[in-house]
Amino acid sequence: MNTTNIYPVQSPQPLIRISKMLELLDCSRTTLYRWVQQGDFPQPLKRAGRTLGWQLSVYESWLQNS
């Protein structure tokens, strides 16, 4: 008997890049990095070498808890 389990593949969420996040938060790059360093904002993810950003769900969660 050959049983095959099929699991859905979840594609990674697109990242909100730094430039877009600065628009959403209406703050400067320095302020955003200070918030991250102080633990007031989530750490960005690093993908594909130098690409930094935040998952939409992380941003939405932060908004709800702020």
Composition of the chain by helix, strand, coil, percent to 5 = 40, 15, 40
- Domain total for the chain? 1
Judged against a pLDDT cut of 60, whether residue 13 lies above it is answered with yes
In-domain check, residue 57: yes
pTM equals 0.74
In-domain check, residue 24: yes
Range of the domain at 21: 15-41+51-65
In-domain check, residue 10: no
In-domain check, residue 46: no
Output the average pLDDT for the chain: 87
Q: Could you give the CA distance from residue 49 to residue 10 in angstroms, rounded to a whole number?
A: 21
* pLDDT band, very low/low/confident/very high, at 51 (cuts 50, 70, 90): confident
